[in-house]
Structure 1
């Protein structure tokens, strides 16, 4: 494992407290005045362009808020070689924004030169860990910083999987030095679909040193028949909130946490109300102030 630099070591602000995924609909709210949000996360690919309004807004808001760059297109677990063009754009963005954190998804999205615009789950097999550790090293060395990898939602299980997702991702983190971005909504969706105890899987993540869990994500989902679908287009469900409360009660109250809404975007005031509920849960477990 090569020596790498944590983004927070160079960022203008550290990542802490309760954050929100920045979406275009809320640009005016954030530009008009400082909002009661501790940090912002953006999808990296939306800001790859060297100019334009989106980049202008991001560079303005990074003066007031710590920023986390969250990628959705790298596909680190793809069979195809990693895209050098993609990595170069990401590296340039990191250099200019100086984010407090950089993350990607533990997924694949390309094979045989065909790109799928999806976060496709990997087969959780021990014999893939060495190869994937090398891929993480390649990315971290190229970017010059540590990345975190997020658990994704899944709807099928591979017959030859010999590890749970939490076992696989935490083992990868220990081997490569990468962080873990723990998406509690994704964990709940996957464990419901696979009929596995979500709390038991969550405890496997929480067995990591807390400095390896760089962020926690919360979001909503949809019920469709017997399956749950990770849609990020609805308020937080009681089940996701309860699972987050459980995580806080078991040591995760100090981990930076944020709410994602990717579709059916409500007024910012609705999301701020959800953020306040998250703050109160965090504070009750000793993770910070209930008000911001």
Structure 2
């Protein structure tokens, strides 16, 4: 297993952006680079963050070769301040599956992209992103059964060994009406077990944690329970993305608006994760002029204040 530096460096607040090809917020296929809406956001706000995480999205039927993505990513990263750290959110490692899955092309692609862009780390949800070669519209959590602990941990350890940048595996989401849960293990316990067995660094997505507790029927203060079951010592990054509770359902919407519950849990995790390095606000929502939607501003401001205070405590 690759041994990475475990000395925590508190980077502060970063931003994560999912940029699908042809989406309102994404890459413009015609320009082979970020669209005007993304460029407007970066012009206004790139300097407000300490690092960026960009989620990889396949370019339609284009083969998985770095040369098909180098120029669009160069154009994207050229709009960031000089020296801005950049990480990659991969979506093709598929470490949650126990089915046969050929990761070699994904390792080669990711490492080649890293050679050009020097990613600070790579993160991916502990999920099943495809089954039998069929991509899932939303990554499904691994089967929460004892028999899966060893093979999933082995997938994580192999990916960590084969990737040049350090790997962080993210706690999966449990969105109502989308996620299918198989098995009777507590997802916190399962995640800690595979993290400890693999030795891989982890990312705790605050909304995903709440979504699991909500799925279990927990409410109120019980949403913040059992945090000791998580691999807190291995956590290097927190994620927060826009979520909502509607008609009794917890929804991971990535619409930019943070819940009060997310801010409460994030504040607790800032104190409980001794090796935490980074806090990522995922998928800001903004208009064509790059201005954040008004409903998202207060939560982001409170998150920024919280993270800045934590970073100064180093």
TM over 0.5: yes
- For 2:306, the equivalent position in structure 1 comes to 281
Higher helix share: 1
Q: Secondary structure at the match of 2:57?
A: helix
Q: Secondary structure at the match of 2:48?
A: coil
Per-residue CA deviations over 1:50-101 (Å, capped at 9, x if unaligned) read 3333432225537331112111233212223134323321121122211112
Find out whether 1:223 has 2:245 as its counterpart.
yes
TM-score (norm 1): 0.81
The 8 Å contact of residues 232 and 273 in structure 2, kept in 1 or not, is answered as no
Length, aligned pairs only: 277
- For 2:203, the equivalent position in structure 1 comes to 181
Q: Secondary structure at the match of 1:41?
A: strand
The 8 Å contact of residues 46 and 54 in structure 1, kept in 2 or not, is answered as no
- For 1:53, the equivalent position in structure 2 comes to 72
Question: For the residues of structure 2 that align with 1:240 and 1:231, how far apart are their CA atoms?
Answer: 13
- For 2:223, the equivalent position in structure 1 comes to 198
Quickly say closer, same or farther: Cα 1:63–1:5, change in 2 above 3 A. farther
**Alpha-carbon offset, residue 269 of structure 1:** 4.7
- For 2:83, the equivalent position in structure 1 comes to 64
Runs of 4+ in 1 over 6 A off after TM superposition: none
The 8 Å contact of residues 40 and 65 in structure 1, kept in 2 or not, is answered as yes
Quickly say closer, same or farther: Cα 1:272–1:41, change in 2 above 3 A. farther
Q: Secondary structure at the match of 1:35?
A: helix
Quickly say closer, same or farther: Cα 1:107–1:282, change in 2 above 3 A. same
CA RMSD of aligned residues (A): 3.1
The 8 Å contact of residues 59 and 97 in structure 1, kept in 2 or not, is answered as no
Quickly say closer, same or farther: Cα 1:229–1:130, change in 2 above 3 A. same
Q: Secondary structure at the match of 2:172?
A: coil
Quickly say closer, same or farther: Cα 1:145–1:29, change in 2 above 3 A. closer
Q: Secondary structure at the match of 2:225?
A: helix
2:52 to 40, 54, 63: 40
**Alpha-carbon offset, residue 249 of structure 1:** 4.2
Find out whether 1:150 has 2:179 as its counterpart.
no
Quickly say closer, same or farther: Cα 1:249–1:279, change in 2 above 3 A. same
Quickly say closer, same or farther: Cα 1:35–1:274, change in 2 above 3 A. farther
Find out whether 1:136 has 2:152 as its counterpart.
no
1:119 to 118, 139, 156: 139
- For 1:161, the equivalent position in structure 2 comes to 184
- For 1:91, the equivalent position in structure 2 comes to 111
Quickly say closer, same or farther: Cα 1:191–1:43, change in 2 above 3 A. same
Quickly say closer, same or farther: Cα 1:279–1:114, change in 2 above 3 A. closer
1:19 to 14, 17, 26: 14
**Alpha-carbon offset, residue 232 of structure 1:** 0.6
Consecutive unaligned residues of structure 1, counting only runs of 5 or more, are: none
Quick check: 174-183 or 222-231, which moved more?
222-231
Q: Secondary structure at the match of 1:217?
A: strand
Question: For the residues of structure 1 that align with 2:13 and 2:75, how far apart are their CA atoms?
Answer: 24
The 8 Å contact of residues 107 and 122 in structure 1, kept in 2 or not, is answered as yes
**Alpha-carbon offset, residue 121 of structure 1:** 1.1
Question: For the residues of structure 2 that align with 1:37 and 1:280, how far apart are their CA atoms?
Answer: 13
Question: For the residues of structure 2 that align with 1:157 and 1:46, how far apart are their CA atoms?
Answer: 24
1:104 to 102, 124, 129: 124
**Alpha-carbon offset, residue 217 of structure 1:** 0.5
Quickly say closer, same or farther: Cα 1:15–1:66, change in 2 above 3 A. farther
